Amino acid sequence: MTIAGLCVTIVVAALILYPLVRWRRRDDALPPQFSTNNPLEIAYTVIPLLLVVVLFAVTYRVEAGVERIAPQPAAVVEVSGYRWSWRFSYPGTGVAIAGTPEHPPQMVLPAGQTTRLVVVSDDVDHSFWVPDFLFKRDAIPGIRNEFDLTPTRTGTYRGECAEYCGLEHARMSFTVRVVSPEAYRRWLAANGSGRS
Amino acid sequence: MSVASVAESAPRRAYPALWLISTDHKRIGIMYVATTLVYFGIAGVLALLIRTQLAAPGNTFLSAQAFNEAFTLHGTAMIFLFVAPFGLGIANFLIPLQIGAPDMAFPRTNAFSFWLFLFGGLTIFFGLATNQGGADAGWTAYAPLSDLAVSGGLGQDLWAMGLIMIGISSILTALNFMTTVFIYRAPGMTMWRLPIFTWEMVATSLLILMAFPSLTAVLAMLLVDRRFGGHFFDAHAGGSAVLYQHLFWFFGHPEVYVMILPFFGVISEIVPVFSRKPIFGYTGLVLAAFAIAGLSMGVWAHHMFTTGAVVNPFFSALSFLIAVPTGIKFFNWIGTMWKGSISFETPMLFAIGFMLNFLIGGVTGVMVASPPVDFQARGSYFLVAHFHYVLGGGSLFAIFAALYFWWPKMFGVRLDETLGRLSFWTLFIGFNITFFPMVLLGILGMPRRVYTYPDLPGWGDLNAIATGGAWLMAVGVALFVANIVVTARRGVPAGDDPWGGYSLEWATTSPPPEFNFTSLPPIRSERPTFDMHHPA
Amino acid sequence: MTVALRLFVSSMAFGLVIGTAYWFCSHDATGTVLLCLMAAGLGFAAGFMQFAEREAALPGDEKNALPGDGAGAEIGVFTVRSAWPPWLAATIAAFLIGLLISPIIAIAAACAIVAVCWQLVRESR
């Protein structure tokens, strides 16, 4: 998309700038007063149309892939947004981590495995966003939003709330730490007392 | 009262009180322009406050509450009190002139629309003055954030009520515009000879009629939830938060086209005159305007791609499609300039700036029409960059173009050309310095509507650059204000037609007399004044 | 069909097409109702124009008309000034704000609105 966008921008910008240089006013003569060119007008209707059809087709396929839900995820995390932090609960394990703006919560995920995230809200609209994962999903009261994450690289990634939710929306960050599956199991066991 | 005698004219310098009760579309148009420019100044100051707070991470120039009220009011004022009503205001001045009519179809309704708009704006600002909290839920005021339990201040209620007034005002203006254009065209001014600006205003009026009722409804529902015991948007009581978004964006998306179509019209008037050629592809431009208007009613939920509650492909497909008529307009403007004879007076400079800026805004818009891209971009500074490029780089530049182009017709004098060019370059460079870094900030992961941000690599520097650009833009605006003052003191009378214009407003005096024309030329094309000066 | 009527009819048809397509894509009541109501509104305007409009041969629609062709026709009431529009706007604003802050202001404003409307009608006679 970025490449297509850059190409279109450069081409059209050139088409705008070229006449300004080439046909700068030099005398008082009236230039040829043409105002239509049917083949050209048809061309610049049809070509962009084809272009957007292609872009949409690509988009549709990519989105279907992004939103695919696996039948049997290896792990499930329930994400609750509230003013102004997050709670990450791992159903069935007794693990729940709730944060505050001063102490952002950390979600731990196993690398190479599929985790189902269920995003809900306790109060107003929030949005769960991890920029490095190129994905966000809103937390809306009354709705359970489910999506799958299969992180491939270990590391710690920053997360933000991406839906304005009031006074401390700016400080509603969190982190996601992706570790090996063994480390993940050990972490679950260590935190399984339900301590927040 | 039969057709008024066209030879009567009101005294040129009328007492201020006469402006208060005037129903003359020219006076009303000027009042709209003046009022919206004042609101622009206020919204601009708010922008400077916002940018100053964001110049460095962890800054404490503004408190969180002050910041949240600032960006709420900045967005509300720019959208509802400046860009959209400026378009309606300049159209108010121009439409009867361009079609050869003595006034609008309903002059008193026209005046009423203006005053209701003015009081609506004051109501919104009144909210700041109450000590019960100003509106702070963003210009979009999503429920349940804007519900009473969360945003309890009277300011939020006044915000909603002020917007209801502005909505009513806009709907009446749209009806007035359409009726005027359909019924009061001068002899020979067939619909297919209308100036493109007038056509764009017909499309804009249609959009307002289709979209604004949804705004009035959702605001009324919000007030019922807040003040009269309702639960429309309260999921805990059987309501739906997503319902708010549907109703709001069903209005909100057409609203952004209400904010651009008049300005497509402005550019379509200016580029031909300064290229000394007719507008290229007239029919295509008209059809494209209505294609945009129609399609824009079907794309609202592209603002909701990340909710998981809407059918993304439907809205994505239509959003991609809307790029096609927009592109057609661009090619028509390029075709107009092609093999022309181009001069670079201030209106043309701003028109070129519009084209370049809106190109970037439009391309970023097509990018976010793709849900996977939007999953990353939404709620981030990438989106802030996108909409500022289209509204700021686009509409704002067209507003300046319109001001410089039609100032002589409104006031009889041309704005100073040197100050105008200086203002243009300052604004163009300042604008891009402000908003291009935001494209990068969005890619780096900075969310929007945040009063502060952490000291991550690049965030502080890019924000500081953006703030610098904002102050440069302020200089550009100050130059414009200086221009107004200088021109008022020693402006040279402009005459009927200082630019070699094409449409009928250039065939009468500057400013026009009461009831607009003492005589009309024969109308045989979409360029009646040009034809008058260039007999075949 | 005049251009104006064609505009409303085609907009209504477009709304119906998009509304139907939307229903089959989404089964979402909200958007479908919005689009169908929009189409209905446009259809109402189109119907009104078709059945209520006078067969006006507008000089504006005559391709070869001369500027003097429209002379002498009664085309409408063009007031030059009137105090009632600002008053109407002020009273309506007061009424709406009164709904929020004080029932007394709302009631007083409602009475004022009636009075101003009466004056407006009188002025039109």
**Sorting pLDDT into bands at 50, 70 and 90, what band is A112?**
very high
- Judge: B144–A145 Cβ closer than 8 Å, yes or no: no
Predicted local confidence at residue B147, as pLDDT: 87
B10 in a structural domain? no
Q: How many domains does chain A have?
A: 2
- Judge: A41–B379 Cβ closer than 8 Å, yes or no: no
A43 in a structural domain? yes
A172 in a structural domain? yes
Check whether residue B229 and residue B268 sit in a common domain. no
* Polymer length of chain C: 125
Check whether residue B192 and residue B280 sit in a common domain. no
Check whether residue B212 and residue B322 sit in a common domain. no
Which residue pairs from C113-121 have beta carbons closer than 8 angstroms and sit at least 24 positions apart in sequence?
C113/C88, C116/C84, C116/C87, C116/C88, C116/C91, C117/C88, C119/C84, C119/C87, C120/B108, C120/C82, C120/C84, C120/C88
Contact B151, B136 (CB under 8 A): yes
- Judge: A138–B284 Cβ closer than 8 Å, yes or no: no
Residue of B nearest to C74 (CA): B2
Predicted local confidence at residue B328, as pLDDT: 95
Check whether residue A120 and residue A158 sit in a common domain. yes
Q: Which of B136, B242, B282 sits opposite A35 (nearest CB)?
A: B282
The answer to whether residue A195 scores a pLDDT higher than 70 is no
Predicted local confidence at residue C68, as pLDDT: 78
Paired tokens of B280: 């290229």
For residue A42, what are the domain limits?
A: 2-25+34-66
Check whether residue A59 and residue A83 sit in a common domain. no
Predicted local confidence at residue A6, as pLDDT: 92
Q: What rounded mean pLDDT belongs to chain A? A: 92
Enumerate the domain spans of chain C.
3-58, 84-124
pLDDT more than 70, % of chain A: 98
Asked if B20 reaches chain A (Cβ–Cβ under 8 Å), the answer is: no
Phi/psi for B277 (5° steps) reads -140, 160
What CATH number does the domain containing A99 carry?
Answer: 2.60.40.420
Predicted local confidence at residue B150, as pLDDT: 67
What CATH number does the domain containing B187 carry?
Answer: 1.20.210.10
Check whether residue B210 and residue B275 sit in a common domain. no
Examine the fold and report which residue of B248, B278, B312 is the final residue of a domain before the chain moves on.
Answer: B248
A184 in a structural domain? yes
Taking only the tens place, the pLDDT of each residue in A29-64 is: 999 999 999 999 999 999 999 999 999 999 999 999
Predicted local confidence at residue A193, as pLDDT: 58
d(CA B159, CA B128): 9
Taking only the tens place, the pLDDT of each residue in C57-69 is: 788 888 888 887 7
For chain B, residues with pLDDT lower than 50 are: 1-12
**How far is C-alpha B368 from the chain's CA centre?**
22
Distance from CA of B500 to the nearest CA of C (A): 22
Quick check: helix, strand or coil at residue B187?
coil
B524 interaction partners in chain C (CB closer than 8 Å): 64
For residue B219, what are the domain limits?
A: 21-234+241-248
Predicted local confidence at residue C1, as pLDDT: 66
Q: What rounded mean pLDDT belongs to chain C? A: 88
B437 in a structural domain? yes
A196 in a structural domain? no
B428 in a structural domain? yes
Q: Which of B64, B235, B327 sits opposite A48 (nearest CB)?
A: B327
B168 in a structural domain? yes
Probe site for chain C from B182, B218, B529 (most C CB atoms < 10 A): B182
Paired tokens of C6: 């064609």
Asked if B11 reaches chain C (Cβ–Cβ under 8 Å), the answer is: no
* Interface size between B and C, measured as CB pairs under 8 A: 183
Check whether residue B276 and residue B220 sit in a common domain. no
Check whether residue B283 and residue B176 sit in a common domain. no
The better pLDDT of the pair A2, A185 is held by A185
Check whether residue B48 and residue B90 sit in a common domain. yes
Distance from CA of C111 to the nearest CA of B (A): 18
Distance from CA of B193 to the nearest CA of C (A): 9
Q: Which of C3, C11, C59 sits opposite B187 (nearest CB)?
A: C59
d(CA B166, CA B163): 5
- Judge: A8–B145 Cβ closer than 8 Å, yes or no: no
Taking only the tens place, the pLDDT of each residue in C8-53 is: 999 999 999 999 999 999 999 999 999 999 999 999 999 888 887 6
Taking only the tens place, the pLDDT of each residue in B27-81 is: 999 999 999 999 999 999 999 999 999 999 999 999 999 999 999 999 999 999 9
Check whether residue B212 and residue B324 sit in a common domain. no
User: Sign of the CA dihedral B216, B218, B222, B227?
Assistant: positive
Examine the fold and report which residue of B494, B512, B527 is the final residue of a domain before the chain moves on.
Answer: B494
Q: How many domains does chain B have?
A: 2
**Sorting pLDDT into bands at 50, 70 and 90, what band is C55?**
low
Q: Which of B235, B281, B344 sits opposite A141 (nearest CB)?
A: B235
Check whether residue B220 and residue B359 sit in a common domain. no
B187 interaction partners in chain C (CB closer than 8 Å): 59-60, 62, 65-70
Check whether residue B360 and residue B474 sit in a common domain. yes
- The one-character DSSP state at B395 is I
- Judge: B1–C78 Cβ closer than 8 Å, yes or no: yes
pTM value is 0.94
Contact A145, A105 (CB under 8 A): no
Distance from CA of A187 to the nearest CA of B (A): 28
Check whether residue A40 and residue A98 sit in a common domain. no
Check whether residue A80 and residue A17 sit in a common domain. no
B91 in a structural domain? yes
Task: Render the burial of B61-97: b for 16+ CB within 10 Å, e for the rest.
Answer: ebebeebbbbbbbbbbbbbbbbbbbbbbbbbbbbbbb
**Interface subset of B 47-66, CB within 8 angstroms of A:** 64-65
Return the active site residues of B.
74, 103, 139, 169-170, 253, 255, 257, 268, 302-303, 326, 329, 448
